[in-house]
Amino acid sequence: MRGRLVVGNWKMNGGLRQNDALLAELRAGWAPPPGREMVVCVPYPYLWQAQAALSGSVIGWGAQDVSQYAGGAYTGEVSAAMVAEFGCRYALVGHSERRARGETEAAVADKAAAALAAGLTPIVCVGETLAQREAGSTGAVVLGQLDAVADRLGDRIAAVVLAYEPVWAIGTGLTASPDQAQTVHRLLRERLGAAATVPLLYGGSVKPDNAAALFACQDVDGALVGGASLKADEFLAIARA
Ligand code: 13P
């Protein structure tokens, strides 16, 4: 069965003191119904803090990126194996905010492979821009992004989590309607074929007041949450929805 997963992406936000408060509130407030999982993806310097605050809890933690390389002379890069040493189970790869700054399909595919090789579950992000949606190419864009990773991983595609995040809905307050989300999720599910049990998350302005309608869609298995994951009450409300 496909699990239900709500993932917080803190992006480049946080600080030691705020993180302590947020992580403690999440830990105290999250009593998951069976089959539901909560994860926070924090900036690299705070992985140790998430590990310390969440170890022994039912909340998982992860990174927001990993290097496509295993190790060596790559100044500023952080390998998947390093991230795994901090008890992470997940890493985002291919977030649109990184793709927009030049991350290629090949790099995203290599990062997904690097994460799997280190024992992490990559949360592979796909999504179209507003111009692409208006040009009618949403399906071609997201399936192309999925194919680039699936071609690289082969059967191991079954071990990823996939997140559909329309770029026009990220941080804008414009959420895809449940119908828009379901349509794209169905396309992705069909393309996954034998790997159709891969959890499909929706991301883009998910809030407590729209989460339940999105989660009611047949092919939406959870959410990747940005802004609302920085507030414990909102993130908990989404996870409970
Ligand atoms: P918002 O929830 O702030 O729109 O961000 C979505 C996102 O990019 C999560 O990865």
Q: Compute CA distances 6 → 13, 67, 155, 202, 206, whole Å.
A: 18, 24, 25, 9, 11
Give residue 235 CA to ligand 1 midpoint distance, Å. Answer: 12
Q: Which residues line ligand 1 (CB under 6 A)?
A: 9, 95, 165, 170-171, 203-206, 224-228
CA-based R_g, the chain, Å: 17
pLDDT at position 219 is: 97
CA–CA dist 128, 142 (Å, integer): 7
Give residue 159 CA to ligand 1 midpoint distance, Å. Answer: 23
| Choice among 95, 97, 103, 234 that is catalytic | 95
Does residue 153 register a pLDDT over 60?
A: yes
Q: Pick from 131, 180, 185, 139: which is nearest to 162 by CA? A: 185
Does residue 2 register a pLDDT over 90?
A: no
Mutate to test the pocket of ligand 1, among 64, 164, 170 (most ligand atoms within 8 A of CB): 170
pLDDT at position 174 is: 86
Residue range 115-132: mean pLDDT, rounded: 98
- How do residues 170-187 score in pLDDT, each as one tens digit? 988 888 999 999 999 999
Residue range 227-236: mean pLDDT, rounded: 98
pLDDT at position 190 is: 97
| Choice among 103, 128, 165, 234 that is catalytic | 165
- E-only strand ranges, 42-157: 59-63, 90-93, 121-126
Active-site annotation holds for 185: no
- How do residues 13-68 score in pLDDT, each as one tens digit? 999 999 999 999 999 999 998 889 999 999 999 999 999 999 999 999 999 999 99
CB-based contacts of 135, cutoff 8 Å, min separation 6: none
Helix (H) or strand (E) holding 202: strand 200-203
Does residue 1 register a pLDDT over 80?
A: no
Largest CA distance in the chain: 48
Give residue 199 CA to ligand 1 midpoint distance, Å. Answer: 18
- CA dihedral (172, 42, 87, 188) in degrees, to 10, reads 20
Q: Are residues 214 and 6 in contact, defined by beta-carbon separation less than 8 angstroms?
A: no
pLDDT band at 226 (very low <50, low <70, confident <90, very high): very high
pLDDT at position 173 is: 85
- CA dihedral (193, 194, 196, 198) in degrees, to 10, reads -120
Nearest CA to ligand 1 atom 2: 226
Give residue 20 CA to ligand 1 midpoint distance, Å. Answer: 22
Residue range 62-88: mean pLDDT, rounded: 98
